[in-house]
Amino acid sequence: MGQTQIRRRRDADMKACLDALFTVYEEDRYPARWPADPAGWLTPDGLLAAWVAVAGPDVLGHVALTRTDDVLAAGAGLPPDELASVSRLFARASARRRGVAQALLDVVADAAASDGRRLVLEVEDGGAAAVALYERAGWRRTGSRSGDWTTADGRTALLHTYLAPDRGAGKGPTART
């Protein structure tokens, strides 16, 4: 694989994103159930922006930044307008342990901070590798709740809310001259 770059997702990236997502689904069962409309799943309601990690024509990973709903904001203990949510974060198995997921998290954290917002996310209890990534990066668990769906092994999902370290969010956008 060549040099990895992080850039905004383009419409032309969707097929490569879906191919990458399917490999993650096959390997890790993320998402827990394959969506009826995978392209729609990668473009959730409230989408603010999405980025991809690429090496040449290959998509190695993906992340989306979305508006934060009231339930997730309550779990983080902050108002929704002070937050932005990490969503649809994944990296191909072949790209793991190379910093791809962390680089994607850094990009969304910078984008949120530039808009005066702090990042929040939910992760299912079975996502041990994801939890380890967030905790290594200084994210703090602020709550847990039962999900409204079942995991691949048939149990009710247990969702943990994580709040990113403060990177200057909540102070408003940077003044421009």
Per-residue pLDDT of the chain (177 residues; tens, 9 = 90+): 568 999 999 999 999 999 999 999 999 889 988 999 999 999 999 999 999 999 999 999 999 999 999 999 999 999 999 999 999 999 999 898 899 999 999 999 999 999 999 999 999 998 898 999 999 999 999 999 999 988 888 899 999 999 999 876 444 443 222
Residue 176 lies in a domain: no
Question: 162, 55, 140: which is closest to 100 by C-alpha?
Answer: 55
What's 32's domain CATH number? 3.40.630.30
The answer as to whether 170 is a domain residue is: no
Which contacts (CB < 8 Å, 24+ apart) does range 166-171 have?
166/118, 167/109, 167/110, 167/112, 167/113, 167/118, 168/113, 169/82, 169/83, 169/112, 169/113, 169/116, 169/117, 169/118, 169/119, 170/82, 170/116, 170/117, 170/118, 171/116
Domain assignment of residue 131, given as a range: 5-163
Whole-number pLDDT of residue 16: 97
Residue 169 lies in a domain: no
pLDDT for res 31: 92
Number of domains in the chain: 1
